[in-house]
């Protein structure tokens, strides 16, 4: 399964490059396996002031999937869906929005 992650921009300099990352994963990849994969590929930018930002993952149906606190690297899940194939539903795209803490 091909899955595309995208995220909001965090500032003007952050708009220079695309934020999209595409991965090939098994349909049985779990939601818990997502964050280490994204961290390994430096998906999230460092934000000045202590990286105090909350990243919120949504699917194409605008369902909140998880929140990731970048300052302490804690993930909280907001769905009972386990597998990435169930989270994505009808599309292969997931999007992170951010909120400063």
**The predicted structure's pLDDT at residue 12:** 67
What is the DSSP secondary structure assignment for residue 73, as one 8-state letter? T
Give the Cα separation of 101 and 89 in Å (integer). 30
pTM to 2 decimal places? 0.90
pLDDT in tens, 35-72: 899 999 989 988 877 889 999 999 999 999 999 999 99
**The predicted structure's pLDDT at residue 47:** 81
Contacts of 100 (CB under 8 A, 6+ apart): 47, 52, 53, 54
Of all helices (H) and strands (E), which one includes residue 57?
A: strand 53-59
Q: Give the residue extent of every domain in the chain.
A: 2-100
Nearest to 84 by CA among 97, 76, 93: 93
Q: What fold characterizes domain 2-100? A: Ubiquitin-like (UB roll) (3.10.20)
**The predicted structure's pLDDT at residue 57:** 97
Helix ranges restricted to H, the chain: 34-40, 84-88
**The predicted structure's pLDDT at residue 13:** 65
């Amino acid at each position: 399964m091909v899955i595309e992650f995208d995220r909001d921009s965090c500032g003007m300099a952050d708009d220079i490059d695309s934020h999209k990352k595409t991965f090939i994963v098994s349909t049985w990849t779990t939601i818990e396996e997502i964050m280490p994969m994204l961290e390994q590929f430096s998906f999230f930018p460092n934000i000045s002031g202590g990286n105090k930002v909350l990243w919120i993952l949504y699917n194409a149906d605008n369902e909140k999937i998880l929140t990731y606190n970048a300052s302490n690297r804690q993930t909280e899940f907001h769905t009972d869906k386990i597998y990435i194939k169930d989270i994505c539903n009808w599309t292969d795209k997931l999007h992170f929005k951010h909120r400063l803490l």
